[in-house]
């Protein structure tokens, strides 16, 4: 598979979306990106696993890191892409068009074309963003090459409707368990049904009301949801175990310890195991370079409700924002689609800022 980085951002989006790259299966796309970007002599190219880094070394006064993930959630009949019109507006439909291959396509095109940017740039395209943090390609790279993360500002190409979304909520997953006693379903009263015992867990989650938390001028909205439930032995057996997986999205003013305490308090009386956690990121919009960027692209700062890898840069003291085409509400949706004009607009915004500072 050969990628043409001289193609338009729209055509490049189409090309990389049509290369399936569900989390854990990114090698074909990573190989194509490495081959394509290695043709440009103004870039130093480094590969770690299926993460590709390309950077300029021009001795500029400032360096900006610009990153995008190359994996998607599972495909569900929405690859290959196709062109559609929604209310007369041309869109590209298909898995990854929003989250976040359109943003990645813009980055690839600009990385190839901007041989003399006004700042040094470290471009990063990484794998396994959509799964647990322990597999995240950006995190694995940081563990072995922290020097690659030196920057004054960072931009993640996550979908933001072409606006700037500051920081991000944190995310935490927990398994909540109930136990019982097996018995024949014809004599259910002999056993104790672990699935039935999960009813109070579900009731508490259903009654949970999202909190809105102001952080540095942006209003973040939290949520707590059951995302999976497992249990059962056979069609004629009372189950003796049940697990409810819970996902908590918490404001960046909270630490992971705060989030864990909140989950345990809500689900007091049950066996709770925290299985994954990633802290959020404060907006970072008070940094002068961030303010220059927002002004240059003409965007309106908003909060990012989902977790993104801006948190990794924020943890290093680097202000970071999300800026990419696509409606975040359509991320992971089976009708995932992005307006063509939005892809072009984000390309123009980034190009102008990186060329004129």
Q: Where in the sequence numbering do the catalytic residues fall?
A: 71, 129
Closest of 6, 48, 32, 257 to residue 146, by C-alpha? 48
Which residue pairs, CB below 8 angstroms and at least 24 apart, start in 264-273? Answer: 266/204, 266/208, 266/224, 267/174, 267/176, 267/201, 267/204, 270/176, 270/177, 270/178, 270/200, 270/201, 271/176, 271/177, 271/178, 271/179, 272/174, 272/175, 272/176, 272/177, 273/174, 273/175, 273/176, 273/177
Phi-psi region of 24 (alpha: psi -120 to 50; beta: other; left: phi over 0): left
Which residues, other chains included, contact 292 with Cβ-Cβ below 8 Å and sequence gap of 6+? 353, 357
Q: SS3 of 225, please?
A: strand
Closest of 276, 281, 337, 334 to residue 307, by C-alpha? 281
Cα separation, 131 vs 110, whole angstroms: 27
């Amino acid at each position: 598979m050969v990628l043409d980085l001289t193609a338009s951002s729209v055509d490049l989006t189409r090309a990389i979306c049509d290369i399936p790259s569900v989390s854990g299966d990114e090698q074909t796309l990573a190989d194509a990106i490495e081959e394509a970007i290695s043709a440009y002599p103004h870039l130093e190219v480094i590969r770690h696993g299926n993460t590709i880094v390309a950077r300029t070394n021009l001795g500029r006064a400032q360096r900006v890191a610009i990153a995008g993930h190359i994996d998607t959630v599972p495909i569900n009949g929405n690859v290959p892409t196709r062109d559609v019109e929604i209310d007369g507006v041309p869109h590209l439909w298909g898995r990854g068009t929003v989250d976040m291959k359109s943003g990645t396509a813009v980055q690839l095109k600009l990385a190839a074309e901007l041989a003399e940017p006004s700042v040094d740039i470290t471009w990063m395209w990484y794998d396994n963003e959509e799964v647990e943090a322990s597999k995240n390609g950006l995190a694995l790279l940081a563990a072995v090459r922290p020097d690659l993360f030196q920057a004054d500002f960072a931009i993640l190409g996550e979908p933001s409707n072409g606006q700037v979304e500051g920081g991000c909520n944190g995310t935490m997953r927990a398994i909540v368990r109930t136990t019982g006693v097996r018995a024949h379903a014809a004599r259910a009263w002999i056993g104790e049904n672990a699935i039935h015992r999960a009813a109070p867990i579900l009731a508490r989650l259903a009654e949970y009301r999202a909190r809105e938390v102001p952080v540095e001028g942006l209003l973040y909205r939290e949520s707590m949801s059951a995302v999976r439930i497992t249990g059962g032995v056979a069609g004629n057996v009372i189950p003796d175990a049940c697990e409810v997986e819970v996902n908590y999205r918490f404001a960046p003013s909270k630490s992971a310890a705060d989030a864990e305490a909140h989950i345990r308090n809500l689900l007091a009386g049950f066996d709770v195991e925290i299985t994954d956690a990633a802290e959020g990121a404060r907006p970072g919009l008070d940094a002068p370079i961030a303010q220059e960027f927002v002004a240059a692209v003409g965007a309106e700062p908003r909060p990012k409700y989902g977790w993104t890898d801006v948190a990794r840069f924020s943890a290093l003291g680097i202000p970071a924002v999300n800026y990419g085409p696509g409606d975040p509400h359509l991320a992971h949706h089976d009708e995932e689609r992005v307006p063509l004009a939005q892809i072009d607009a984000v390309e123009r915004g980034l190009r102008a800022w990186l060329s004129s500072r």
